[in-house]
Amino acid sequence: MAELLQKVRVIDPVSKIDELFDVLIADGFIKEVASHIADIHPDTQIRDCQGLVLGPGLVDLYSHSGEPGFEERETLLSLLKSAAAGGFTRVSILPDTSPAIDNPALVAQLQQKRAEDNLSPLLPCSPAPLLHIWGAITLDVAGKQMTELADLASAGVVGFSDGKPFENLALVRRVLEYLQPLGKPVAFWPSDRQLTANGVMREGVNALRFGLPPIPASAETTAIAAMLELVAAIGTPVHIMRVSTSRSVELIASAKAAGLPITASTTWMHLLLDTKAVKSYHTSLHLDPPLGNPSDVVALRAGVRTGVIDAIAIDHTPYSYEEKVQAFAEAPPGAIGLELALPLLWQYLVETEEFTALELWRALSASPAECLGQKVSAILPHQPAELTLFDPQQTWKVERKSLYTLSQNTPWLGQQLKGHVVQTWC
């Protein structure tokens, strides 16, 4: 059935458009975009979209699935439902499952599971997002042996990442050399675990005030510097994950200015919160890397706006209630976010006019797609309808019954939010 969205605010970072249009969608394609569409088929469903936002479907660079191995945290089906409810039409899962995604058979198994789940409706108005799978770089926990990267590439992984800090630089060098002809993205999380030690909070005055073991910014920046040296020497493009410090933004800006083939991402929570939030000792604020100091947040936001930091990742990390109900330092790090990121980023960055709507939507759609070696379509006639319809004013309460994810590890649990996804097309 054809759908006509009347007077919808079209935010298209591909065409750099932020204007009111009528948009006609039929048979999975955008049929027409115009200031007014009058000539329509009698069976067309007409929707008044004044006050609503239509943009390309959101793309998540990396998140965690509980399945296989930790289905009590998240199943593949619940993850896809959560992603669809949050406006994502593509979601990419890291390989740190149990067993790890380090062989073609498991990639095929997850792809088959995704196909089977798609047979049943996920949400009333939204189809299942596309599932992308990161293949593991290393086989063993110690990270000393490479997986069969070529076999995984042939199996259809979106790219390669362990989703954990690299510690063996000699192996990283070999990986970069081996991956050059495969043409797949590779993502590394730079973090020196010796400098991190037992820390749980970014080093600074608030870490002293709250009595929590600190993590120096150099734990991240020294690892980024080493990574950049390897990229400069070998030339293989690299994605730098989970950037969280102001100095890291400077290093990446300098490397890009020098022509190094790198992209970078930070996570949505690192853009919204700083170390002051840890005053509550809410275990969902225990993240790795930790929340930055106020100066870090300022630099990260500026980095996203200018494109030094290419993309905003969600890094959705579900944990059960029992796992998170511990002392702050003892709880596993991570928080959910697929259903929360767009409303909160819009509320605190766009409505405050710190970001334009185009800047935010670019960092959540077109740019993460580019980091994966993909593209999103412009909102133009004859293009595929991979879209997200968002109501910035709709209010809802974050609680168990309003979330599709199986986990509730978020500091916003129980709070009223403004902004809700209405529908996606995929």
225 token code pair: 């510097």
Name beta bridge partners: 263. 239
Question: How far lies 408's CA from each of 59, 67, 98, 289, 297, in Å?
Answer: 22, 17, 21, 20, 25
**Pairing status of strand 3-12 against strand 53-56:** parallel
Selecting among 96, 192, 315, 391, the annotated active-site residue is 315
Which positions ≥6 away from 209 have C-beta within 8 Å?
none
DSSP letter assigned to residue 350:
I
**374-379 contacts: CB < 8 A, separation 24 or more?**
374/59, 374/90, 376/14, 376/56, 376/57, 376/59, 377/14, 377/56, 378/12, 378/14, 378/15, 378/56, 379/10, 379/12, 379/14, 379/15, 379/17, 379/23, 379/30, 379/33, 379/54, 379/55, 379/56
Angle subtended by helix axes 218-234 and 246-257, to nearest 10: 10
Instruction: Please give the torsion angle defined by the CA atoms of residues 263, 85, 162 and 271, in that order, rounded to the nearest 10 degrees.
Output: 50
Instruction: Say whether 315 is catalytic.
Output: yes
Residues marked active site are found at: 315
